[in-house]
Chain A
């Protein structure tokens, strides 16, 4: 690890001596500089050298017998040399061990110019710039949806780069593989609704209407929303991570330079898969939620067939349609948030993590906002 002087007893600590003659200052290093107590820092050495002569021209470095060094020692001499350089002092290393001279030479050979940093804009400008970026992000999102629609039209007219195999792959990833988690969450949500409703309705002796509450609640609201939240965490995050990793790995660049459109080749199969699968998952979720509600209700003097009969009356085609329209809108939002933040990801592994987080957070915010908006719209339309 380090050069060893010969024949000197080990154990002498790091030491140095300074001596001036004319405009030359001789700095002699001695002892073992490799231990835990690594000796004086470069500021101390510099001050010692500067204190010796009024206007030194040359610093002469030398090593005594038995001097031991490692790269910490080198780092100090390197900074000492730079301090000298700044003052126009020439550094002479001929007295140092061969290895030290080589490495000091290497380190000095390529001294880059100082890296310029841009001046910080004033605080008000920073706040403004931040809001402008937000505004741009919204425009980007809308533009992304627009690009997606154009790609969809091209796909429908059979002129796009989208591979049907990819579409089936993503349908498989998004749909069948999510059934388990969707079933679990839906049955629990159905049960929660039933408990909530039966406690309130019991006060009016109208317990049988718990079926209406569960059925309408699942079909219009909870089915689409819970499925969407699950898919935002499961599929939206996966899309962002896949595309982000592809960005980091220059795969997106490859797609572009091969003349393919990332929108058609990468985004459209994912988006389309989610839009196709989501309504089916929502119907599945509605049914499972009803079963969950019925299980709870049958423990509370509303038997199973009574529950289903009541539920059938409560839910009309309009209710089912509103739920399905929601599911399509949610699917578009989840896929767009996932794919867009994946494509916009930076090229580092940390950036991929950020993109995934952003995909899920954005998706959930969009979902809830869109849900509220659609409910208002449905109310105005009277459906």
Chain B
């Protein structure tokens, strides 16, 4: 039931890579203002699901409605308008390695706005300061650390104040403190600017500290086992696997319970 509160709705979604089935029968809703976590064990198709949500892969079956609109049925102009409202940070950052950090952040600004050069520079300075990279505008991605690259990718993702922020494994490769700092930053930006955040992660610390809503994908049965507030799922999920995942985070496929 679509209402004003629903930001993204996933209906009967099946994901395939060629003939390989990744996930099927996915059904869940992301509310406006949610910090929504896509969780599950390694290789269950979390990142694949994200790639479908941001229009990089076409769903085999079913649909993903963003503000009631299916990206793949939209006309190119509408697609462009939809993309303008998205900020995306990829698993390995996705920074353009031949551009400096400041130039990276400038790419979406050039693409979608015609702001004067001076103001753009000020805005870029601010976005970099926001992610803690004040003074690093002239560095190339190859010259800074992995954690800094993640933050620079975030600065580029929030360049246009997106309504929808997608984040693939924000904490991969970061120490717990940096990872926590990044989580806090994502939430602070969401709280201050509004908007919805969709995060792919399997980090329990992140899931419990920032998620307001989540879906759990299973590798064995190739479908979602549960969705809702992870704190609720921790004790009340109908599936033992979900409870175990959330309580320990250890996901041993050998004693998996199977697709109950």
| Among candidates B129, B135, B141, B191, residue contacting A108 with C-beta atoms closer than 8 Å | B129
A113 to B135, CA, bound (A): 7
A71 close to B161 (CB less than 8 A): yes
Closest partner residue, chain A, to B96 (CB atom): A349
Q: How many A-B residue pairs have CB under 8 A?
A: 91
Query: Shortest distance in angstroms between B156's beta carbon and chain A's nearest beta carbon?
Result: 13
B129 close to A111 (CB less than 8 A): yes
Assuming the A-B contacts A78-B129, A347-B142, are A100 and B135 also in contact, with contact meaning beta carbons closer than 8 angstroms in the complex?
no
Within 8 A of A (CB), among B96-140: 97-98, 115, 118-119, 122-123, 125-127, 129-130, 132-136, 138, 140
Chain A residues contacting B141 (CB-CB under 8 Å) are: 348
B132 close to A110 (CB less than 8 A): yes
From B122, B127, B191, B193, residue with most partner A Cβ within 10 Å: B193
B194 close to A1 (CB less than 8 A): yes
A42 to B125, CA, bound (A): 13
Assuming the A-B contacts A102-B192, A103-B130, A106-B188, are A112 and B135 also in contact, with contact meaning beta carbons closer than 8 angstroms in the complex?
yes
Within 8 A of A (CB), among B193-243: 193-195
Assuming the A-B contacts A72-B123, A107-B129, are A112 and B134 also in contact, with contact meaning beta carbons closer than 8 angstroms in the complex?
yes
Assuming the A-B contacts A106-B185, A348-B140, A350-B97, are A1 and B161 also in contact, with contact meaning beta carbons closer than 8 angstroms in the complex?
yes
A28 within 8 A of B: no
Chain B residues contacting A70 (CB-CB under 8 Å) are: 161, 193
A103 to B130, CA, bound (A): 7
A42 close to B122 (CB less than 8 A): yes
A78 to B125, CA, bound (A): 9
A181 within 8 A of B: no
A35 within 8 A of B: no
Query: Shortest distance in angstroms between B188's beta carbon and chain A's nearest beta carbon?
Result: 5
Closest partner residue, chain B, to A108 (CB atom): B129
B54 within 8 A of A: no
B130 close to A350 (CB less than 8 A): no
Within 8 A of B (CB), among A1-21: 1-3
Query: Shortest distance in angstroms between A2's beta carbon and chain B's nearest beta carbon?
Result: 7
Assuming the A-B contacts A41-B119, A112-B135, are A106 and B194 also in contact, with contact meaning beta carbons closer than 8 angstroms in the complex?
no
Interface size on B, residues (CB 8 A): 32
A74 within 8 A of B: yes
A98 to B191, CA, bound (A): 9
Chain B residues contacting A74 (CB-CB under 8 Å) are: 126
B158 close to A71 (CB less than 8 A): yes
- Report whether over half of chain A's contact residues are helix, strand or loop; otherwise say mixed: helix
Chain B residues contacting A78 (CB-CB under 8 Å) are: 122, 125-126, 129
A57 within 8 A of B: no
A107 close to B97 (CB less than 8 A): no
B142 close to A1 (CB less than 8 A): no
Query: Shortest distance in angstroms between A89's beta carbon and chain B's nearest beta carbon?
Result: 19
A79 close to B125 (CB less than 8 A): yes
Assuming the A-B contacts A99-B193, A106-B188, A350-B98, are A71 and B126 also in contact, with contact meaning beta carbons closer than 8 angstroms in the complex?
yes
Chain B residues contacting A100 (CB-CB under 8 Å) are: 192
A72 close to B193 (CB less than 8 A): no
B163 within 8 A of A: yes
Within 8 A of B (CB), among A83-105: 98-100, 102-103
- Interface flags, A102-128, vs B, CB<8A=1, else 0: 110011111111110000000000000
A103 close to B136 (CB less than 8 A): no
A3 to B189, CA, bound (A): 13
A174 to B142, CA, bound (A): 32
Chain B residues contacting A41 (CB-CB under 8 Å) are: 118-119, 122
Chain A residues contacting B195 (CB-CB under 8 Å) are: 1
Closest partner residue, chain A, to B194 (CB atom): A1
A346 within 8 A of B: yes
Closest partner residue, chain B, to A74 (CB atom): B126
- Interface flags, B13-28, vs A, CB<8A=1, else 0: 0000000000000000
Smallest CB-CB A-B distances: 6 pairs: A99-B192, A350-B98, A348-B97, A75-B126, A107-B129, A110-B132
User: 12 new A-B pairs (CB below 8 Å) besides A70-B161, A112-B133?
Assistant: A71-B127, A74-B126, A75-B119, A75-B126, A78-B126, A79-B122, A103-B130, A107-B126, A108-B129, A111-B134, A112-B136, A114-B135
Question: What residues of chain B have their CB less than 8 Å away from a CB belonging to chain A?
Answer: 97-98, 115, 118-119, 122-123, 125-127, 129-130, 132-136, 138, 140-142, 158, 161, 163, 185, 188-189, 191-195
16 A-B contacts (beta carbon < 8 Å): A1-B195, A2-B193, A41-B118, A72-B115, A75-B119, A75-B123, A75-B126, A98-B192, A99-B193, A102-B191, A102-B192, A103-B130, A103-B192, A112-B136, A114-B135, A115-B135
